[in-house]
């Protein structure tokens, strides 16, 4: 899965890992919002990497595995942040994520017969430093977003966005270089 090869989405081992993550996230999302200490402990244990203790992810938060997620220093994500991390999701320092943002790494065939076989693959997502992602943005598999980027609210990011730019729309495209 992490190598980008085709895998079975109904593999029993993967299903157990998904359920274990859901149990952890159930605890996280049920905590009082003031219990930021415990919230940080849970996410630090779940994620593959956390840059420092100056991060906050507002509840509710959802992901598939957690261990493929890496966040940099001073990270913030607002309500309803969803990460389908079948591949690695790397987010740099000083990134701000608006509400209802989704990052997807899982890929499915457009052929119905192939799709119904539950075979899929995953492509990593990388987000640079100093990035602001507006509310209700969707980032699709395989996308790289450079440093110093703003992604406008409601955008669907289907291709790489270069550093030092502002990008908006569906599909998301650069409207201005900084």
Contact 87, 64 (CB under 8 A): no
User: Which amino acids are annotated catalytic?
Assistant: 108
Q: What is the pLDDT of residues 111-125, one digit of tens each?
A: 999 999 999 999 999
Residue with tokens 């209700």: 136
First vs last Cα of the chain: how many Å apart? 36
Return the DSSP state at 60.
P
Helix (H) or strand (E) holding 21: helix 12-30
Residue 115 in tokens:
């799709």
**Rounded distance between C-alpha atoms, residue 62 and residue 39, angstroms:** 13
The CATH architecture annotation of domain 7-177 reads 3 Solenoid (2.160)
Q: What is the pLDDT of residues 80-133, one digit of tens each?
A: 999 999 999 999 999 999 999 999 999 999 999 999 999 999 999 999 999 999
């Amino acid at each position: 899965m992490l190598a980008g090869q085709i895998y079975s989405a109904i593999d029993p081992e993967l299903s157990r890992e998904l359920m274990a993550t859901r149990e952890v996230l159930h605890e996280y999302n049920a905590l009082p919002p003031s219990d930021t200490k415990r919230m940080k402990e849970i996410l630090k244990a779940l994620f593959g990497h956390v840059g420092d203790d100056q991060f906050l992810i507002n509840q509710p938060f959802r992901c598939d595995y957690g261990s493929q997620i890496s966040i940099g220093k001073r990270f913030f994500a607002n309500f309803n942040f969803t990460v389908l991390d079948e591949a690695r999701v790397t987010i740099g320092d000083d990134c701000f994520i608006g509400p209802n943002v989704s990052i997807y790494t899982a890929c499915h065939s457009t052929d119905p017969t192939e799709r119904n076989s539950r075979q899929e693959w995953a492509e990593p997502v990388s987000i640079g430093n100093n990035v602001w992602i507006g509310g209700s943005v969707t980032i699709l598999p395989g996308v790289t977003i450079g440093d110093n980027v703003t992604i406008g609210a409601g955008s669907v990011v289907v291709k790489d966005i270069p550093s030092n730019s502002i990008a908006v729309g569906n599909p998301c495209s650069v409207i201005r270089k900084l």
